[in-house]
A and B are shown apart, each in its own frame.
Chain A
Amino acid sequence: MAAPPHGGRLVNRVARGARAERLAGEANDVPTIELSEVQAYDVANIAHGVYSPLEGFLTENDYVSVLKEGRLSNDLPWTIPVVLDVEQPLARELLGSDVALSLNGVRFAIMNIEDAYVWDKKEMAAKVFGTADPSHPGVQLVMSSKGQVLVGGKVEQFVELPEPFERYRLWPKETRVLFEQLGWRTIAAFQTRNAPHMGHEYIMKSALSFVDGLLINPLVGWKKPGDFRDEAIVTAYEALLNNYFPRQSYVFSVLRMPMRYAGPREAVHHAIVRKNFGATHMIVGRDHAGVEGFYGPYDAWKEFEKYPDLGITPLFLREAFYCSKCGGIVNEKICPHDESYRVRISGTEIRKALLRGEVPPPTMMRPEVARVLLSMRDKLFV
């Protein structure tokens, strides 16, 4: 059976039919806050239960508790604050009332402003990212938010937001039914923000060897410059899965959620989110959700020790590499040979090769994957 949702109940704040019509009408009569894309998709994720048990943006009690304890004020594990910042005069005016939320001028949700509180962006960064260094891409994203005040309160969505990969958009209640239909009792989730290389394939297949199925769930949406673009990730996965994975062994769907590069805390967040999709296990690799130079390679593994009550089992998998003596992709734990036999699977080298228009070595990337990436060469990276 799929993992129970975080907090015991899958949140559903999506209005349909007559109720959606009524809310759309109400939205015309109340003030509107125009959201950024990141904020708007956070609303959609809340409404569809991706962030269960959250029913809205964090109120101050929860915000303080998340920063300090890595838990909501009701003690449930929660590591990444899901917040909405607004300009100060606006917040004061709106406290206690309903507002409409819009993206690109289209109203799509209603929010009740239950709470408005001043935040310290630097403190938030230091607690969540372990650094306030402005060269950290996640810190940059926080620092670029303009509102001095955070508003908390429940949301209800009445119009679906657009999804360029509609064919691959599944919400938690859908993956849960899917896993049930497939008869899967154990599901390992794989989080990614990359086009797949041999190391990713090895890690996914290692996990797959002892669970019923994989949930391959790349993040689409905001990423730092130099990362693969969404189209490249999705197309590359299609090439890999069609050629190298049994059709009945995986579910591939996208999740529109920003990468925050918060390392350990984000690894736990990724696990909670996948638990809501029904995954029972979460693959946590080397430097999960990290960014060059900020976290130790296995810091994220240690973070999970704080959460005996997470409700999803982390699968800690070491970095994979090619060993010419073993004759395949292996890891530290199973290969006894020294460095002279080993070829590191380097994301940087793969990127460089692709930019030069060359196929990366087959020890690093499947030729089918490399070929589709090369065909979109000018549009590969953010």
Chain B
Amino acid sequence: MEGVERERRNRYTTVSIPVPLYERIKSLIAGTGFTSVSQFVTYVLRDIVSEMEKQKVQDAVSEEERKEIVEKLRRLGYL
């Protein structure tokens, strides 16, 4: 349980951004669903980071396994 408390405290960290950018974001999000600059920045970063992570995808099946799968798919009538 102690570990969980520590985990909670460690959920957030600080990243520096220029003050004028902070102000721009603040006025941009006024009246939108975003309640803070941090929330907005987190949202935007998740969007971008997940796109970039797509480049690093690993292929799961070997050539041999692919052949086996195609064989099975043929047998079942999918191909």
Of A61, A73, A177, A309, which one neighbours B69 at CB under 8 angstroms?
A177
A4 located at the interface, meaning its Cβ lies under 8 Å from any Cβ of chain B in the complex: yes
The residues in A between 169 and 216 inclusive whose CB is less than 8 angstroms from any CB of B are 170, 173-174, 176-178, 181-182
**Contact between A308 and B46 (Cβ–Cβ < 8 Å)?**
yes
CA distance A88 to B5 in the complex (A): 22
CA distance A310 to B51 in the complex (A): 10
* Cα A64 to Cα B6 with chains together (Å): 12
When the two chains form the complex, which single residue of B7, B49, B50 contacts A73, counting CB atoms closer than 8 Å? Answer: B7
Given contacts A181-B73, A181-B79, A308-B43, contact A5 B54 (CB under 8 A): no
Task: Kindly supply a per-residue 1/0 record for chain A positions 214-256, scoring 1 wherever the CB is within 8 Å of any chain B CB and 0 otherwise.
Answer: 0000000000000000000000000000000000000100000
Q: Is the CB of B33 within 8 A of A305?
A: yes
Contacting residues, chain B, for A310 (C-beta < 8 A): 50
A313 interface residue per 8 A CB criterion:
no
Is A10 located at the chain interface by the 8 A CB criterion? yes
Q: Are the C-beta atoms of B72 and A173 separated by less than 8 Å?
A: no
- Inter-subunit contact B61/A177 (CB<8 Å): yes
Q: Shortest beta-carbon distance, B55 to chain A, in Å?
A: 9
User: Which of B46, B49, B53, B61 is close to A173, meaning CB atoms less than 8 Å apart?
Assistant: B61
Instruction: Give which listed residue, A5, A61, A75, A311, contacts B60 with CB less than 8 A.
Output: A5
Interface status of A60 (Cβ within 8 A of chain B): yes
**B29-79 CB contacts (< 8 Å) to partner A:** 33, 43-44, 46-47, 49-50, 53-54, 56-58, 60-61, 65-66, 69-70, 72-73, 76, 78-79
Report whether A61 and B73 are in contact in the complex, using a CB–CB cutoff of 8 Å. no
Q: Which residues of A contact B65 (CB under 8 A)?
A: 173
Residues of A within 8 A of B20 (CB): none
A356 within 8 A of B: no
Docked Cα-Cα span, A174 to B49, in Å, equals: 28
Task: Kindly state the separation between the CA atoms of A9 and B60 in the bound complex, as whole angstroms.
Answer: 7
A308→B69 contact, CB < 8 A? no
B4 within 8 A of A: yes
Q: Do the beta carbons of B78 and A61 come within 8 Å of each other?
A: no
**Of the candidates B47, B54, B60, which one forms a contact with A10 in the assembled complex, judged by CB atoms under 8 Å apart?**
B60
Map CB proximity to B onto A307-327 as digits: 1 under 8 Å, 0 otherwise. Answer: 111110000000000000000
Is B3 on the interface with A (CB-CB < 8 A)? yes
Q: Which A residues are in CB contact (< 8 Å) with B61?
A: 173, 176-177
Partner pick for A8 among B4, B58, B72, CB 8 A cutoff: B58
With A4-B54, A49-B60 given, is the CB distance from A178 to B78 under 8 Å?
Answer: yes
A177 contacts B70, C-beta separation under 8 Å: yes
By a CB distance below 8 angstroms, the chain A residues around B78 are 170, 178, 251
Closest to B49 in A: A309
Output the least CB separation between A249 and chain B (Å). 13
On whether the beta carbons of B72 and A174 are closer than 8 Å, the reply is yes
Chain A residues, Cβ within 8 Å of B76: 167
User: Is residue A363 contacting chain B, with contact meaning CB distance below 8 A?
Assistant: no
Contact B46 A8, beta carbon cutoff 8 Å: no
Contact residues in B for A307 (Cβ distance below 8 Å): 46
**Do A311 and B50 touch across chains, with their CB atoms under 8 A apart?**
yes
Cβ–Cβ < 8 Å partners of A32 in chain B: none
Nearest CB in chain B: distance from A23 CB, A? 19
Interface residues of A (CB under 8 A from B): 4-5, 8-10, 12, 49, 60-61, 64-65, 73, 75, 167, 170, 173-174, 176-178, 181-182, 251, 305, 307-311
Q: Show the binding face of B for A, using Cβ within 8 Å.
A: 3-4, 7-8, 33, 43-44, 46-47, 49-50, 53-54, 56-58, 60-61, 65-66, 69-70, 72-73, 76, 78-79
Q: List 23 A-B contacts (CB under 8 A).
A: A4-B54, A8-B53, A8-B56, A8-B57, A8-B58, A9-B58, A10-B60, A49-B60, A60-B3, A61-B3, A61-B7, A170-B78, A173-B65, A174-B69, A176-B60, A177-B61, A177-B70, A181-B73, A181-B79, A251-B78, A307-B46, A308-B46, A308-B47
Known: A178-B69, A182-B79, A309-B49. 20 other contacts (CB 8 A): A4-B54, A4-B57, A8-B57, A9-B58, A9-B60, A61-B4, A64-B7, A64-B8, A75-B46, A170-B78, A173-B69, A174-B73, A176-B61, A178-B78, A178-B79, A181-B79, A309-B47, A309-B50, A310-B50, A311-B50
